[in-house]
């Protein structure tokens, strides 16, 4: 386990060390949930247009999905594992680049931003018809950008992000499966 942590730290320092004045504001905003509000509204409009009366069930499923991803990552796993974020690790304090967003909470394993982004992207990729393939590509790029920004901004190790991605993908599949099995959604 110590070897994995060392590798994780080295990869984190390498990726976090690739900051520059051009990408600093981009990565700061990529991690900001409110920044993406127009994107989320756009997605809601597409869902309503595509699913009409059934869009209520899709939006309800998204609410369940985000709750599962966020609560599993933020409350269950972070509070059980209690792994310090790199931004709170005393031995790394002088080695890392932090964005203007600051250090974040004390614990970082796993990234709820990454879990939420990959959960939503997976769910929508599985749900939306082929005519939205362009949006599916955007969703993957968006989820990767959000996840990478967490490392870039100095608040998550790569494993924090990777495990969160897997969790989000799992919940995305699960909630999509539950939605299509719902009798009310089929009608």
The tens digit of pLDDT for each residue in 5-23 reads: 889 999 999 999 888 888 8
In this model, does residue 70 exceed pLDDT 80?
yes
In this model, does residue 183 exceed pLDDT 80?
no
pLDDT at 57: 95
Tokens, residue 124: 């929508």
Query: Hey, where are the domains in the chain?
Result: 40-186
CA-to-CA dists, residue 29 to 20, 83, 149, angstroms:
15, 25, 9
For residue 107, the cross-strand partners are 84
pLDDT at 46: 97
For residue 84, the cross-strand partners are 107
The tens digit of pLDDT for each residue in 85-107 reads: 999 888 888 888 887 777 888 89
CA-to-CA dists, residue 167 to 49, 103, 138, 156, 185, angstroms:
29, 23, 20, 16, 25
- In the chain, the percentage of residues whose pLDDT exceeds 90 is 71
Please give the CATH number for the structural domain made up of 40-186: 1.20.144.10
Check if the beta carbon of residue 139 is closer than 8 Å to that of residue 121.
Answer: yes
Integer Cα distance of 147 and 113 in angstroms: 7
The pTM (predicted TM-score) of the whole model is 0.91
Task: Give the residue from 112, 129, 19 showing the smallest Cα distance to 70.
Answer: 112
Return the SS3 of 84: strand
């Amino acid at each position: 386990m110590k070897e994995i942590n060392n590798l994780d730290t080295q990869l984190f320092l390498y990726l976090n060390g690739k900051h520059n004045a051009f990408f600093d504001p981009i990565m700061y905003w990529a991690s900001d949930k409110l920044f993406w509000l127009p994107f989320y509204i756009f997605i809601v409009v597409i869902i309503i247009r595509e699913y009409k009366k059934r869009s209520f069930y899709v939006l309800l499923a998204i609410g369940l999905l985000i709750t599962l991803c966020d609560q599993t990552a933020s409350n269950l796993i972070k509070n059980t594992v209690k792994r310090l974020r790199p931004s709170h690790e005393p031995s790394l304090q002088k080695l890392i680049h932090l964005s203007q967003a600051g250090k974040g909470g004390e614990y970082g394993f796993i990234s709820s931003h990454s879990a939420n982004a990959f959960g939503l992207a997976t769910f929508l990729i599985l749900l939306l018809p082929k005519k939205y393939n362009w949006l599916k590509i955007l969703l993957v790029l968006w989820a990767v950008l959000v996840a990478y920004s967490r490392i870039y901004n100095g608040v998550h190790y790569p494993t924090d992000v990777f495990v969160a991605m897997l969790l989000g993908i799992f919940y995305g599949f699960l909630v999509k499966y539950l939605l299509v099995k719902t009798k009310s959604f089929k009608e």
